[in-house]
Structure 1
Amino acid sequence: MATPDPGESFAEAAGEAAQTAVMSVRLVIAIADAVRRQQRRKQGAEEVLVPVERAKEDAKAELKDFLPADISAALTASADWPQMAQQLLALKRAGVDLGQLLPQVGEIAVTVRDQVAANAVRVAKEGTGEWERMLRETLPAGPVREAILSSPTWPDIAATMSQLDEGGVDVRRILAAAHDEGLGVDQAVAKVLAAGEVRTTSRDALLSYGPMTDGLDIPTNLNLDDREHALRQLSISPQENARYVRMLKEALPDHAREADLSVISRQWPLVACRMAKMEREGKPVAEHLAGLVKDTSWTDGPIPLVQAASHVLRHPVGQAPPAARPKVSTTAARLQSSTVGPTKAQTAKATTSAEPGVAAHRQTGPVAKPGKSR
């Protein structure tokens, strides 16, 4: 496995760490604002927010002394900064002492930034980054793959895999065997922790059936409400996600606002997953995205940019037909498994027998016709 350039990896890790720190700031502010809103509802008070432009300037001044420059710059450049600025000033007007709140928020952000950057640099220095891609290609989506990639010991696991590979061991074969054992452990622990509870397909997984997930390997417990968790479920690393975000923005230099809104939308992880799959297959992602400039009907058409991006990625370069609003495939939703994602064999079989409008990664065998009734 090739070892990434330490300097390039460090710069990319630092940028991604700052973005992750921004997410922690966003979370803390959103929670504080939710508490404030609840109190106002109890009192029947009317909600009056500071105008956006004024809020942006005033909130930026409040943050100046409490956040490092890199985190502050990433925060104020984010698409949802106007909303966060209004939330901060609403908290101040409601009687919250920002001089006490913001230092705590800054401490949380710095801790998150440093942890993310340190782990990313460690992976890069040890040359284990490529093992994450190999893991995605070897194991199907599900609890085992998600557990490995989200584990704090992942760098150690990847280093061990590298050592085995250097010793001539077939690491893919070991992983395939370990995956089956991992499923057994997952099911055994689940029975103890949730006795009597039946695992069901998440709402996000059900609603995602259709063109956006056609041919993708998504877990049945997909949770798009938690961006970081969803990306881990789909095996998209922070560095890969940052690269896919840049690719979309570079494809739409004159539509920066629309691109920003797309990459923070709930469905973005599905588009990132599509890009990752295309890269593994050697397809030119950037050339597909260029189709968004040739057909800008998404600016005022029936579907948003995030779905339009998925649309052009699913068709040959320059041959994407006019897009229509996607529909949920109820057939695929009914036939999906309620436990874990499909195996590679199931995926291959499904790909050859998929019906139009049914996600290939969840397609099952034909349903037997009912016998004649008397």
Structure 2
Amino acid sequence: MATPTPEEQAGEAFAAAAAEAVQTSVMAFRLVMAIADAVRRQQQKKAGKEEELPPAEKASTEASEEVKKFLPPDISAALMDGADWPQLAQQLMALRNAGVDLEAMLPRVGEITATVRDAVTANAERVAREGTDTWAKMLRETMPAGPVREAILSSPAWPDMAATMAKLDERGVDVRAILASAHEEGVGVDQAVAKVLAAAEVPTTSRDAMLSYGPLTTGLDIPKDLDLSDRERALRQLAITPQENQKYTRMVREAMPGMEREADLLVASKQWPLIATRMERMERDGKPVAEHLARLSKDTSWQEGPKTQMGGRLVQAANDALRKGIGGPATESRVKVNTTAARSQSPSVGPTKATVSKGAAPTQPAVAPHREAGPVAKGGKIR
């Protein structure tokens, strides 16, 4: 057998690289379809109207026409030659049956796959295999909180999606860009399916989301339909993985030595997912979470008050401890603030010093000498 010429070897190498690029673009198509199908299922499940996939044979015939029409020829051919084509075809037809306009969606997905194909051709392969936690973090950083991100993390196909992301990343593909594009498609799928199900296209703000607005959620990415009554779902909505939740639980317990019961009370509170989310955000920003949490054992003012309300005080104290900067002057937790005294000192509600009538018994609690009111000039007016 004759030895291949340099030109033939170069041609074979180019063909192999091109085939790899096409197969990688097919993986990207599968990923986008898996995300879109997860959103469809989630929306229908919420409405109690989840539908089964259409028959594979009929779906394959109908989907092949759509794919050939809107995807590049090399990618559409590779898709239909794949062993999983019947399943992909079923997903496509299920999306169409659920109200998604494939003539609008497929051209955009085609652009994604073509971009991936070209990226693989232009980039050398690199090895960086990671676990699902890495990709969950990427989801959190790339996709805003909402139905698309929740659908991905709750889908049975999530481990396969994460594995696909790892393979795409190994081949030089910008996975963040794909996720950003897939998120837009997922939002479209969510709205289209919701419309068919006669549900609101834009989710209304849940009671938990409204009640959490303020110090507990300042600077955090919170979905409008936050459901704190379902711990597992709330953590999923906030993109906190089970491993991260275990780590943050352990950090709280380590920060409160000898107070295991109180630490467990904090973790068991309804608002714990929000505390865990702030801890994750601080870690991402490079802040010393453990140092902040240590304040819970140094300032125990949260222990004062009815025991039945201790969980709420702990949540507030933990949030205060995490939000206050390190190294500044020590201040008491907001949990211990005397609202009456604070109101009397506020310039928005009256003078900074209270006027006491001569001979009248004081009605305010005793205060430290440096906060006592000075003598009031006779006949003076307060403005």
- Per the normalisation by structure 1, the TM-score is 0.51
Shift of 1:138: 1.1
Q: Which amino acid aligns with 1:260?
A: D
Match of 2:159 in 1: 155
CA–CA separation in structure 2 for the residues paired with 1:180 and 1:291:
42
Match of 2:17 in 1: none
Shift of 1:129: 2.5
Q: 1:284 to 1:193 in 2, by over 3 A?
A: same
Q: 1:196 to 1:256 in 2, by over 3 A?
A: closer
Q: Which has the higher contact order (CA 8 A, sep 6+)?
A: 1
Is this contact kept in 2: 1:291–1:317, CA < 8 A? no
- Which of the numbers 264, 277, 280 marks the counterpart of 2:268? 264
Matched, 1:191 2:195: yes
Matched, 1:307 2:316: yes
- Which of the numbers 334, 343, 350 marks the counterpart of 1:324? 334
Q: Which amino acid aligns with 1:164?
A: L
Q: Deviations over 1:165-224 (max 9, x none)?
A: 111111101111111111000011111223468731100000000101010000000000
CA–CA separation in structure 2 for the residues paired with 1:160 and 1:233:
22
Q: 1:170 to 1:235 in 2, by over 3 A?
A: same
Q: Which amino acid aligns with 2:186?
A: G
CA–CA separation in structure 2 for the residues paired with 1:126 and 1:318:
36
Is this contact kept in 1: 2:301–2:335, CA < 8 A? no
Match of 2:206 in 1: 202
Q: Which amino acid aligns with 1:138?
A: T
Match of 2:295 in 1: 291
Is this contact kept in 2: 1:288–1:318, CA < 8 A? no
Shift of 1:322: 2.6
Q: 1:307 to 1:318 in 2, by over 3 A?
A: farther
CA–CA separation in structure 2 for the residues paired with 1:197 and 1:188:
8
Shift of 1:255: 1.2
Match of 2:183 in 1: 179
Any idea what SS the aligned residue of 1:211 has?
coil
- Which of the numbers 167, 174, 194 marks the counterpart of 1:170? 174
Any idea what SS the aligned residue of 1:213 has?
coil
User: Which deviates further from its counterpart, 149-158 or 299-308?
Assistant: 299-308
- Per the normalisation by structure 2, the TM-score is 0.50
CA–CA separation in structure 1 for the residues paired with 2:186 and 2:210:
25
Report how many aligned residue pairs link the two structures: 202
Q: Which amino acid aligns with 1:312?
A: A
Q: Deviations over 1:334-358 (max 9, x none)?
A: xxxxxxxxxxxxxxxxxxxxxxxxx
> Percent same amino acid among aligned pairs?
68
Any idea what SS the aligned residue of 2:173 has?
coil
CA–CA separation in structure 2 for the residues paired with 1:229 and 1:211:
22
Cα RMSD (Å): 2.1
Which structure is larger by alpha-carbon Rg, 1 or 2? Answer: 2
Is this contact kept in 1: 2:299–2:333, CA < 8 A? no
CA–CA separation in structure 1 for the residues paired with 2:261 and 2:317:
15
Matched, 1:229 2:233: yes
CA–CA separation in structure 2 for the residues paired with 1:296 and 1:325:
10
Is this contact kept in 2: 1:241–1:272, CA < 8 A? yes
Name structure 1 gaps, 5 residues minimum.
Answer: 1-124, 327-374
